Structure 1
């Protein structure tokens, strides 16, 4: 079973490939943001208000930038 981070990475790669081909609209961005935040929340507590997502499209390259303000080390969740 793939780990959540690997699954999120694969989804991101698929979405960006479709977007480059003109096959998707910017509506995927909220879904992608939600998926990435779910993965991060499995490992630490984060405030959804402290998340910034930027998508830049160019002729040959598109980039997705996600900034998450991480809490101090004391709030890190311990693995089960």
Structure 2
């Protein structure tokens, strides 16, 4: 039976990993439900403005809303390339 023990152990680790990933996805989905409707539009517009000056990927701009006590914080993250190439060139 020792030969097959590694298969069952691997399955448990895989199941545990899949469960963790699913929990993260569900948590992310729940957090987006309460987000304002304008966030996706804001994200697209920021990407358009940044692309006027620097060539970046479509997923380079991330926008999220967070609560800090009574305050709501707007978190904007922009992933810039290592070497910033001018846009339009």
Structure 1 unaligned regions, length at least 5: 1-24
Structure 2 unaligned regions, length at least 5: 1-34
Residue 54 of structure 2 contacts residue 84 of structure 2 at CA under 8 Å; is this kept in 1? no
TM-aligned CA deviation for residue 60 of structure 1: 3.0
Bigger radius of gyration: 2
CA–CA distance in 1 between the matches of 2:73 and 2:42? Answer: 13
Residue 39 of structure 2 contacts residue 64 of structure 2 at CA under 8 Å; is this kept in 1? no
TM-aligned CA deviation for residue 74 of structure 1: 4.6
TM-score (ref. length: structure 2): 0.48
TM-score (ref. length: structure 1): 0.53
Give CA deviations for 1:21-75 in whole Å, capped at 9, x if unaligned. xxxx711111111111111111100101233222113453111111121013351
Q: Over aligned residues, Cα RMSD in angstroms? A: 2.3
CA–CA distance in 2 between the matches of 1:26 and 1:74? Answer: 31
Q: Structure 1 pair 51/60, CA: closer, same or farther in 2 (3 Å)?
A: same
- Partner of 1:65 in structure 2? 75
> Is 1:53 the equivalent of 2:63?
yes
